[in-house]
């Protein structure tokens, strides 16, 4: 009987190999620079929280997705399902250290016992920004502008991304005027509307009414609204995609004047002005009454970003204002607003669209030693290159590997430069430097064997040992 443990991951969890992590790290660094450009500062929190911290913040559906466990002290704990609730807890816990207003960014893993599917995992990474301590709509405007800058950072041009914005205050005002004033029923209606992009309008109408059968054949109970209420909701969610001021006028014509409706309309109008001031175009950010957020803690403006050419990945950025969340942990109310990037889903979508290159190595130069060359010489070369900032690896494959095998290793990994040294080079005080990128381009399409061998030396040159660093840097194009 074998004692071997099967090497496998749990359902909904995954390993990330270098070709994934290299692209991921590049994306994180590019996003981080944008966040810092807007003044957001880094923080971190534990992945484990007291269960009481998490339960009840995201709603009943989210409560069901929390991974629960017990600490060695027999405290009931849960794996965080997002980075927003821990941030609210942090604001309440450190009022003297965290001076308001405060901007933060936070990257880390979160966990949800969800049904895994394309772009959805049970462990995934979020990359958040939040601003706490201000109820000004300038916060929403800056968050949306940050979202737009992130998208444009990855060569997203006009029409390649869209940020949708809605105001839940205006939505509550509308639901009240059609006979749905109770908060819990209104939240249920909004959770159904939130499925619009996934299941379509007809399925949403069914769920708002008597109910529907989902794709797996399971019955979904309905909200039991009247046909007239469902028609009114259909009319409401159709207000979208207009220019921002035309949207506000059309929504105003639908809403019955009330304190909440008037405030929602005023916020739409003010946000439109602020987005104009920040240079966020009408094509980049649109007002859309169909947009809802699945988590219960959002209170006013909400936003999500989509990639129209990769809709199967769903929303890649999402967030909004959550002015009441800190109140759960403190008697001092702290208004807050933020947005989260689902990093795994975002990277999957960018890779699908060809906006993020997949790389198999970060190594820029491989040291290749010929037979008879002492290992100490190889290490000296590597140390010199590394000392100048060039990412360098010494070939450590099978002892006695031929130059052909070592070059094949470099090509397979995508390493651009090979530094080759043999006994002749040591005696002459030189090194051979081979630009593998040039060599690959030169040999592309060559079918004649003799010509292929002739072109094998393309991109190869000999440099004085003293010129090693300068020559490699020149071949890499880093100056």
Confidence of residue 447 (pLDDT cuts 50, 70, 90): low
Ranking 37-51, 214-228, 350-364, 451-465 by mean pLDDT, the lowest is 451-465
Distances 444 to 283, 373, 447, 477 between C-alpha atoms, Å: 42, 32, 9, 22
Domain check: are 126 and 171 in the same one? Answer: no
Q: Record the tokens describing residue 428, joined without a space.
A: 């002459």
Within a domain: 278: yes
Whole-number average pLDDT of the chain: 91
Q: Record the tokens describing residue 152, joined without a space.
A: 């444009």
Note whether 345 and 304 are within 8 A (CB): no
By C-alpha distance, which of 394, 362, 416 is closest to 21?
Answer: 362
Domain check: are 136 and 174 in the same one? Answer: no
CA angle 145, 129, 155 (to 5 degrees): 45
DSSP 328: G
Domain span at 70 = 11-148+323-345
pLDDT at residue 155 is higher than 90: no
Bridge partners (DSSP) of residue 303 are 165, 319
pLDDT at residue 353 is higher than 90: yes
Helix (H) or strand (E) holding 450: helix 449-455
Confidence of residue 117 (pLDDT cuts 50, 70, 90): confident
Neighbours of 452 (CB within 10 A): 12
Within a domain: 410: yes
pLDDT at residue 443 is higher than 60: no
Question: Please, where are the H alpha helices in 296-402?
Answer: 343-352, 375-387
pLDDT of residue 183: 87
Domain check: are 263 and 341 in the same one? Answer: no
By C-alpha distance, which of 380, 322, 9 is closest to 169?
Answer: 322
pLDDT of residue 167: 96
By C-alpha distance, which of 478, 329, 383, 350 is closest to 31?
Answer: 350
pLDDT of residue 115: 86
Note whether 444 and 433 are within 8 A (CB): no
Domain check: are 171 and 137 in the same one? Answer: no
Helix (H) or strand (E) holding 339: strand 336-342
Domain tally, the chain = 3
Within a domain: 359: no
Percent of the chain with pLDDT over 70: 95
Within a domain: 316: no
pLDDT in tens, 210-219: 999 988 888 9
Q: Record the tokens describing residue 268, joined without a space.
A: 């739409």
Within a domain: 315: no
Distances 57 to 63, 206, 322, 330, 391 between C-alpha atoms, Å: 8, 28, 11, 14, 46
Residue that terminates a domain, selected from 345, 376, 407: 345
Domain of 397: which CATH number?
Answer: 3.40.50.800
Within a domain: 356: no
pLDDT in tens, 274-327: 999 999 999 999 999 999 986 778 889 999 999 999 988 889 999 999 998 999
Q: What is the largest CA-CA distance in the chain?
A: 92
pLDDT of residue 57: 74
Mean pLDDT computed over 79-85 = 94
Within a domain: 195: yes
Mean pLDDT computed over 447-466 = 69
pLDDT of residue 297: 85
Bridge partners (DSSP) of residue 179 are none
pLDDT of residue 358: 80
Note whether 58 and 296 are within 8 A (CB): yes
Mean pLDDT computed over 339-357 = 92
pLDDT of residue 293: 82
3-state secondary structure of 130: strand
Domain check: are 133 and 93 in the same one? Answer: yes
pLDDT at residue 261 is higher than 90: yes
Neighbours of 137 (CB within 10 A): 22
Domain check: are 168 and 272 in the same one? Answer: yes
Q: Identify the residue whose tokens are 């936070």.
A: 106
Domain of 141: which CATH number?
Answer: 3.30.930.10
Confidence of residue 59 (pLDDT cuts 50, 70, 90): confident
Domain check: are 188 and 297 in the same one? Answer: yes
CA angle 21, 349, 132 (to 5 degrees): 80
Within a domain: 102: yes
Ranking 210-219, 244-253, 303-312, 429-438 by mean pLDDT, the lowest is 210-219
Q: Record the tokens describing residue 38, joined without a space.
A: 């807007």
Domain check: are 220 and 330 in the same one? Answer: no
pLDDT of residue 453: 55
pLDDT in tens, 169-226: 999 999 999 999 998 899 899 999 988 888 899 999 999 999 999 888 889 999 999 9
pLDDT at residue 374 is higher than 90: yes
Percent of the chain with pLDDT over 90: 76
Confidence of residue 452 (pLDDT cuts 50, 70, 90): very low
Domain check: are 102 and 209 in the same one? Answer: no
């Amino acid at each position: 009987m074998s004692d071997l443990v099967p090497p496998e991951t749990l359902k909904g969890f995954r390993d990330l190999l270098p070709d994934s992590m290299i692209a991921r790290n590049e994306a994180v660094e590019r996003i981080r620079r944008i966040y810092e450009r807007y003044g957001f500062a880094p923080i971190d929190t534990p992945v484990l929280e007291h269960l009481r911290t998490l339960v009840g913040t995201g709603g009943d559906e989210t409560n069901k997705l929390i991974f629960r466990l017990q600490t060695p002290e027999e405290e009931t704990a849960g794996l965080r399902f997002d980075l927003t609730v821990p941030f609210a807890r942090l604001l309440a816990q450190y009022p003297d250290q965290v001076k308001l207003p405060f901007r933060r960014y936070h990257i880390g893993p979160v966990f949800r016992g969800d049904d895994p599917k394309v772009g959805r995992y049970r462990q995934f990474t979020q990359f958040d920004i939040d601003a706490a301590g201000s109820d000004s709509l300038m916060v929403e405007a800056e968050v949306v502008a940050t979202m737009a800058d992130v998208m444009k950072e990855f060569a997203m041009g006009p029409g390649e991304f869209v940020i949708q914005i809605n105001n839940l205050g205006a939505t509550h005002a509308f639901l009240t005027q059609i006979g749905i004033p109770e908060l819990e029923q209104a939240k249920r209606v909004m959770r159904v509307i939130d499925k619009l992009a996934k299941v379509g309008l007809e399925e949403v109408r069914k769920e708002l009414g008597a109910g529907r059968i989902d794709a797996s054949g399971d019955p979904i109970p309905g909200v039991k609204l009247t046909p007239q209420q469902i028609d009114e909701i259909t009319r409401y969610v159709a207000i979208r995609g207009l220019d921002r001021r035309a949207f506000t006028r059309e929504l105003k014509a639908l809403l019955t004047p009330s304190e909440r409706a008037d405030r929602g309309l005023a916020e739409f109008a003010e946000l439109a002005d602020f987005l104009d001031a920040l240079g966020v175009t009408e094509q980049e950010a649109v007002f859309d009454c169909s947009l809802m957020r699945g988590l219960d803690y959002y209170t006013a403006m909400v936003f999500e970003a989509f990639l129209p050419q990769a809709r199967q990945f769903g929303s890649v950025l999402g967030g909004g204002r959550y002015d009441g969340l800190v109140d759960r942990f403190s008697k001092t109310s702290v208004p807050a607003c933020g947005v989260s990037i689902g990093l795994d889903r975002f990277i999957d979508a960018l890779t699908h669209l060809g906006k993020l290159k997949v790389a198999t190595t970060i190594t820029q130069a491989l040291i290749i030693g010929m037979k008879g060359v002492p290992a100490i010489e190889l290490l000296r070369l590597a140390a010199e290159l590394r000392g100048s900032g060039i990412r360098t690896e010494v070939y450590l494959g099978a002892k006695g590997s031929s130059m052909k095998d070592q070059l094949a290793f470099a090509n397979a990994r995508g390493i651009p430069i090979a530094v080759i040294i043999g006994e002749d080079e040591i005696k002459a005080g030189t090194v051979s430097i081979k630009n593998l990128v040039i060599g690959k381009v030169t040999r592309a399409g060559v079918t004649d064997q003799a010509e292929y061998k002739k072109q094998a030396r393309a991109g190869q040159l000999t440099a004085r040992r003293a010129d090693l660093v300068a020559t490699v840097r020149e071949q890499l194009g880093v100056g």
